[in-house]
Amino acid sequence: MSTPFVELGDKERFAVRIELFPDPDEGRYASPEEALSWGRFDLWVQGRNLCAPHGVTWYLLPLFEWFVHNWNAIFHESRLPVLSDDEPSPWVRRDDDARSLPYLSDEEADRREALWYEWSLRHAWRSAAEGGLFPDLLLLREDDFVRFSWGPPPPVGTPPGPVFEHSRGDALVPLDAVCTPLFDALREMSDFMIQQGEAWALEDLSRLEALRKNVQELRTVAPEERLIWLSGIARTSEGARQKVEMLKDCLGDSFSAFALDGVSPGELVLEGSSLASMMYGSTSPEIGEKDVLLLARSVMMLPIGGRATPDPGDGFLQALFGRLRHRRASS
């Protein structure tokens, strides 16, 4: 059987190149399914191979699973764990926040560290490394773009000297230019690995079959599942899910009009900015359920024409935020 290989996308915008090889350790240190995924992964952003010069060479199955499991968060969540208007680079903001931890109280330091850890599980490439040497790359949504933010990996566990050619940077790439080639690459790789496993008569391919099924199901995800991340309504998936469910219960048939106004549901992502994301993305992530509902009901009282192209800086939203501050001050 020929070596599984894909190269998809436009290197001047976004592209991936994946090639699988026989496991050099012949499966001694990995499960049979993981051994099938030994290979090299290269990723280009605006002409730069962020995995250069040697690529990410490792068991790639956990990386494929990470992309699929966190797809909705990667391509819809814009909110960072700690809000800041001073630094647009997520990598720098995370690094600066880590440096500030020794100067905070133990309780606040633990809280921030936990928030960044949970966020990084969804957005940091290295969370899928499982022992491999990966670039310290963050991926998240920004408007209708994907922001790539990277920096040098931490020194612990890495060889001395530069590991990857591109040590620091940020780039914005249109959503479709990223999602389509990445999805196609994941689909082809999952098919390749199952074919290889069947050719080798492996008894258990359940993990690979689950990967292929989950890749296929990315095309049929309900818009509400992606809205949970797009709304920026909470810092955690569980907190966001609870608030979205509360809105559905309270708004009834009006929920979809409020939540998806301004959004175009595509097969792989939601495009555009909903009223929900424009409002809640500008508020504290600790906003309570009463204030969530107040904002939603206030916007629903606007005429349809008045709800087009929401701007978080306009007078209406500023008035709403003022009402929230007044409620808190008087409570």
DSSP helix/strand/coil, 83: coil
Same domain membership, residue 147 and residue 106: yes
Q: Specify the number of domains making up the chain.
A: 2
Claim to verify: residue 185 and residue 261 sit in the same structural domain: no
- Single out the residue in 219, 247, 277 at which a domain terminates: 219
pLDDT tens-digit map of 222-279: 888 888 888 777 667 777 777 777 777 776 666 666 666 668 888 999 998 755 554 5
Residues 57 and 205 both lie in one domain:
yes
Same domain? For 12 and 147 the reply is yes
Q: Which domain covers residue 70, as residue numbers? A: 5-219
Residues 35 and 63 occupy one common structural domain:
yes
Task: For residues 294 and 247, state if they share a domain.
Answer: yes
Asked if 181 and 230 sit in the same domain, the reply is no
Burial 197-233 (b: 16+ CB within 10 A, else e): beeeebeebebbeebbebbeebeebebbebbbbbbbb
**Do 177 and 126 share a structural domain?**
yes
Q: How far is the C-alpha of 98 from the C-alpha of 58, rounded, in Å?
A: 28
Domain boundary (192, 219, 246) is at: 219
Q: What is the pLDDT along the chain (331 residues), one digit of tens a residue?
A: 456 899 999 999 999 999 999 999 999 999 999 999 999 999 999 999 999 999 999 999 999 999 999 999 999 998 888 876 676 899 999 999 999 999 999 999 999 999 999 999 999 999 999 999 999 999 999 989 999 999 987 766 666 666 788 889 999 999 999 999 999 999 999 999 999 999 988 989 999 999 999 999 999 998 888 888 887 776 677 777 777 777 777 766 666 666 666 688 889 999 987 555 545 554 445 555 555 555 555 554 545 444 444 454 444 444 444 444 444 455 4
End residue of a domain, out of 181, 199, 219: 219
